[in-house]
A and B are shown apart, each in its own frame.
Chain A
Amino acid sequence: MQRHRVTEALWGYAFIAPTALGLAVFYLWPVLQTAYYSFTEWGAFGGHTWTGTDNYVRLIHDPEVGRALVNTFAYTFLGLLSIPLAIVFAALLNRKMRGVGIYRTFFFLPVVTMPVAVAMVWRWLYNGDYGLINYVLSLVGIDGPNWIADPDTALYALVVIGVWTSVGYNLIIFLAGMQAIPADYYEAAELDGAGPLRQFLRITLPLLSPTAFFVSVVSVIGSLQLFDLVFIIAGSGNAARANPAYPRLETVVQLFYDRAFVTNDRGYGAAIVIMLLLIITVLTALQFRLQRKWVHYA
């Protein structure tokens, strides 16, 4: 009996070995290496020396890190707006009506479009002098700003693109969540005289909370790592820095990229991502703690 269980366990490990090895070699090992490099200083062409906590001390005093963090948190927080939006749209699409497939496709389209293409198109829309948005505004007599070059609007312009691209993805997940709710609940509620709004608030929302929890964890992790959108909208390195709104656009990963790959400060770049890793870990742990208060598992 004992022997049988040992063999079984061995087989189990053998089956997960390919994935586990892959994870260890391609994820875990680089993470450990990066953590080590964050305590070193790099030459432009390799070779590093141990500098202890120098990079972290510098990080705390670097105003650019501070502003990148502020931007990233603001983007992450405002980006959560896509969750209520996705729930509303999912509820609207979760019924029998003509052309529901077409609507679902439209909402999902931004998700399957290349982020680079999305950002390029938005860049044109946002153009201060020749963009479609300002043209439409001019028809009603409003002189629109240079959306992505104006420090007052740049971050919000970015959030709009982020929300627009993520609503479709979140919506599909919420739709699946809604369809997993047994129809009996609604029948019972109807017999008791509950209207559609009450049903939505008392049945749909609570039973959707595990889905909402999953979506919020995933979007916070994703938003904190925002890079590609800014990279296309603002560029990187010197091209980006010539944009007067760049102090409001720069994200943590953007700063990491600049330090690690543009100015060749790899050790400092490593310290920046390790800081981000810690922030993501803490925020995710916090979310898991808080979920006890609002998530209902049926």
Chain B
Amino acid sequence: MRMRGTTRIGTALLGVVALALTAACSGGGDDESGNEKVTLSYAVWDQNQKPAMESLAAEFTKTHPNIAIDVQLTPWEGYWTKLKAAATGGAAPDVFWMNGPNFQLYASNGVISPNPEQVDTSVYPKALADLYTFEGKSYGLPKDMDTVGVWYNKTLFDAAKVAYPKDDWTWADFQAAAAKLTDPAKGVFGTAAPLSSFQEYQYDTIAQAGGYVISPDGKTSGYADPKTIAGLKFWTDLIAGKQSPDLKTMTDTTPIQLFEAGKVAMYWGGSWNVSEFSGNDYTKGKIDVAPLPRGEKQATIIHGVSNQVGGKSEHSKQAWEFVKFLGSQPAAEILGKTGPIPAYNGTQTAWVAAHPELKLQTFLDEVAYAVPYPVSKNTAAWNEAELTHLTKAWSGEQPVDAAATALAADMNALLAKE
């Protein structure tokens, strides 16, 4: 609370200074991006990416000497709470990171502004450009992207004499491998089927089964669809077959911890896990990555963060210049050196080359058949309903189809209120 108070005063002071500067400089007429010296606030949530953001800011100031960038880090846990409070008070940052689930909420409330000019978005994966389009208008520009793959422990594969996954493997191959890798005597599970992040699990298998989470118009839930239910059953069957730890165990010890302890052989994770796994003492050198197995079709969820201009920004013109720079090819190349994967097509080679021991190209090849992250105007509301209902299916309290049908009814009611 105190912190926020200080920040608010700081922002107010900055505002006063900026106003004074504007007043001092505006004598010469409306010389927009010319002589006016401004400082833009740029809110981000990832500590690991802060240095990269600062070097991007410095790079931008080189060509725009009158625009300084203040990179403000708020850790993920508090990012949205703080941003919401700031936006409510009319003091949102000039430029900030945005994700898919929150995008439509911010766009529909005018907290972010639509792009003032047409930009060629064909340089980004289409699913990402679509994700940040609301009512026909595009907002901000994609910054990075991520897809999902199967991280696997080669040591455990070798010990169980199972062949490494091929690029064209199927659900049946995955299930067979999971069964062979499971070794109750050693406490090793073939895989893990958690509920904590749908992006790497449920949403992917739902798409692979040919089902859907939300209709393209964002009005109806797909959870009652038999194909969607098949995508969910994929996971509950693995728990029932003891090829995955049960929900209680995964609540106590997260699947990623189990994977990093050699207790889970195949872990469905994102391209963002690269730095974690290549830095971890156990997984380093023991693992590789394969594409997601094919169900009725091949699919992975694609998601990416975008940079947005605050709707109430007093320097929206300069802020848009900065967002355009962040979405450009040179900026993407700087980002690619440290990761995550830059969204700009063709700039990802540096990211892939950084870890020659891992088949990181997998994540890029998957973009061809990637499906967008399911969102609507109030995604958070039905995200909660997903957990309320599916926890019952995961713990075995209720059959999957009953839980999914009840979820669909709740979700439809929530979507009707949007």
Contact = CB atoms under 8 A, between A and B. Distances in A.
A244 B196 CA distance: 11
A130 to B, nearest CB: 7
A45 interface: yes
Interface string A235-252: 001110111111000000
B84 A264 contact: yes
B6 interface: no
A43 interface: yes
A242 B384 contact: no
A149 interface: yes
A46 interface: yes
Contacts of B194: 242
Size category of the B interface is 20 to 34
Contact of A146 (B88, B252, B388): B252
A143 interface: no
User: Among the interface residues A131, A245, A262, A264, which one has the most CB atoms of the partner chain B within 10 A?
Assistant: A264
Given A238-B384, A242-B391, A263-B381, A44 B105 contact: yes
Interface string A112-142: 0000000000000011111100000000000
Q: Which of A45, A128, A242, A244 counts the most B-chain CB atoms under 10 A from its CB?
A: A45
B252 A244 contact: no
Interface residues of A, number: 28
Given A127-B252, A238-B387, A244 B247 contact: yes
Interface string A145-168: 110111000000000000000000
A203 to B, nearest CB: 47
B383 interface: yes
A144 B163 CA distance: 37
B93 to A, nearest CB: 14
A28 B196 CA distance: 40
Contact of B248 (A43, A44, A45, A146): A146
Interface in A41-61: 43-46
Contacts of B395: 244
A242 B109 contact: no
A126 B252 CA distance: 8
B11 interface: no
Contacts of A13: none
Interface string B364-386: 00000000000000101101100
A174 B220 CA distance: 61
A29 interface: no
Interface in A261-281: 261-264
B71 interface: no
Contacts of A128: 248-249, 252-253
A168 B408 CA distance: 49
A263 B380 contact: yes
B122 interface: no
Given A46-B88, A244-B394, A238 B383 contact: yes
A46 B381 CA distance: 18
A45 B384 contact: no
B56 interface: no
Contact of B253 (A44, A129, A244, A261): A129
B196 A239 contact: yes
B60 to A, nearest CB: 28
Nearest to A261: B81
Contacts of A46: 88-89
B395 to A, nearest CB: 4
A43 B84 CA distance: 11
Interface in A76-135: 126-131
A261 B82 CA distance: 10
B54 to A, nearest CB: 29
B87 interface: yes
Nearest to B311: A45
Contacts of A129: 187, 249, 252-253
A22 to B, nearest CB: 15
A297 B105 CA distance: 60
A45 B388 CA distance: 26
A43 B195 contact: no
Interface in A220-243: 237-239, 241-243
A18 B187 CA distance: 63
A244 B109 contact: no
Interface string B148-181: 0000000000000000000000000000000000
Contacts of B381: 263
A223 to B, nearest CB: 24
Contacts of A239: 196
B345 interface: no
B251 A263 contact: no
B384 A149 contact: no
A44 B247 contact: no
A263 B102 CA distance: 11
Contacts of B249: 128-129, 146, 149
A231 to B, nearest CB: 11
A148 B89 CA distance: 39
A130 B187 CA distance: 12
A33 to B, nearest CB: 14
Contacts of A131: 252
A146 B247 CA distance: 10
A168 to B, nearest CB: 27
A149 B252 contact: yes
B111 interface: yes
A211 B237 CA distance: 57
Interface string A13-49: 0000000000000000000000000000001111000
B253 A130 contact: yes
A263 B84 CA distance: 11
Given A45-B84, A45-B109, A261-B81, A241 B384 contact: yes
Given A45-B88, A244-B391, 15 more contacts: A43-B109, A45-B84, A126-B252, A128-B253, A129-B252, A129-B253, A130-B252, A146-B249, A146-B251, A149-B251, A237-B384, A238-B387, A239-B196, A242-B251, A263-B384
5 contacts: A46-B89, A128-B249, A145-B248, A238-B383, A238-B384
Q: 5 closest A-B pairs (Cβ-Cβ)? A: A149-B251, A46-B88, A241-B387, A149-B248, A146-B248
Interface of A: 43-46, 126-131, 145-146, 148-150, 237-239, 241-246, 261-264
